[in-house]
Structure 1
Amino acid sequence: MAWLYAEYIADELLRTGNLIPPGTIEFRAGRETLALTIYLSDSSDELSGIRVVTSLDEWLSLTTYGHPWETWVRERLAERTAADRRREVISPDLELALASWRWLSGTELLAADLGGAIPSHQAADLGVDESEKVWTPAWQLGLPLGHLAIHLF
């Protein structure tokens, strides 16, 4: 249930933010990225009694540009997998989270080059050239979408 709850919260945040049409692959990237952030930020692995308002600051911090989100996800998934192996039971929530991570890290989307295409000293003058497209893992597109959705909530 914890994964489904995390996915529900992520879906609601993205829909409320109205940043991208539901049903698109970009929306899915944002929802899966946010759901992983929500699910893995809960240390009890239950999302019981979660207080969305107090969690928003933590989720914003985790999805901030420059935060090593990918490393954080890999470490948290490894910790949870090891804990489940010690109990000799893989939880359905963890299985869903792992499947989500496989999709996010294995699926590439053609998107505007948001990272590093413009030298930082020129970025203020030029902005992002949206015609410059690159293939990027889905989580790299979902992360800023998720961050903005949390910020707008």
Structure 2
Amino acid sequence: MLPKRVDDFSGGELTVPMAWLSAEYVADRLMRGYGLMVPGSVEYRSGCDALATTLFLACPRIELSDLFVARRRDRWLMLTAEPEVWREWAADQIERVRTRHRFVGALRLDVEMALTAWRWLCDTELLSPTVSAAQDAAEPWNAPPAPTGEDRPEWVPAWYLGVAVGHMALYDF
């Protein structure tokens, strides 16, 4: 579709956020391959968004073949090993991306999409599922009785759960 204005800065070309879409695709493939979270669930989304954010910030020109490069995979595993460390790293990288694009005058669409995922990860809290609870979601007829006491799930930031799940997906790949 052509822009309505002739003086549009994009030159009339369709802007496709390939950097973010590629990172999101690779993250989705990893999460589906891991199979711990049910696709479409908020827990699955937190894992996909955390992984896509990691991949986008660490390797802006990612391709599916990058999954097979051990050096890159090891770096991603290191970045996602500790959720708190990941959050500090990601916040720093997000600020660098924002600063870099302020000088240009406008954010690229892929950067805007990454920022949207980042805000969702930071602003959302989820009940932390147990591994057995995630497996029981796929087979509800096998679900055990609800946990009590210290075994009860607690509210955690979406980024925390997403990084943990994303790390397991990367490790399992």
Number of positions where the alignment pairs a residue of Structure 1 with one of Structure 2: 136
Q: Distance in 2 between matches of 1:39 and 1:10?
A: 10
- Name segments (4+ residues, structure 1) moved above 4 Å: none
Conserved in 2, the CA contact under 8 Å of 1:30 and 1:141?
A: yes
1:51 aligns with 2:96: no
Give the letter for the 1:13 counterpart: L
Structure 2: gaps (5+ residues): 1-17, 131-148
What is the TM-score normalised by the length of structure 1? 0.81
Paired-residue identity, %: 38
Which residue of 6, 12, 21 maps to 1:4? 21
1:148 aligns with 2:168: yes
Q: Distance in 1 between matches of 2:161 and 2:66?
A: 26
SS in 1 for 2:99: helix
* Closer, same or farther: CA 99–49 of 1 in aligned 2, 3 Å: same
Give the letter for the 1:38 counterpart: L
Structure 2 counterparts to residues 30-49 of structure 1, below 5 A: 30-42=47-59, 45-47=60-62
Q: Distance in 2 between matches of 1:112 and 1:130?
A: 13
User: What do residues 91-120 of structure 1 show as CA deviations (whole Å, max 9, x unaligned)?
Assistant: 11110010001100100011159xxxxxxx
Which residue of 115, 128, 136 maps to 2:156? 136
Whose Rg is larger? 2
Q: Distance in 2 between matches of 1:98 and 1:22?
A: 22
Q: Which residue of 1 aligns with 2:117?
A: 100
* Closer, same or farther: CA 73–66 of 1 in aligned 2, 3 Å: closer
What is the TM-score normalised by the length of structure 2? 0.72
* Closer, same or farther: CA 24–18 of 1 in aligned 2, 3 Å: same
Q: CA deviation at 1:134?
A: 1.6
Structure 1: gaps (5+ residues): 114-128
Q: Distance in 2 between matches of 1:86 and 1:64?
A: 33
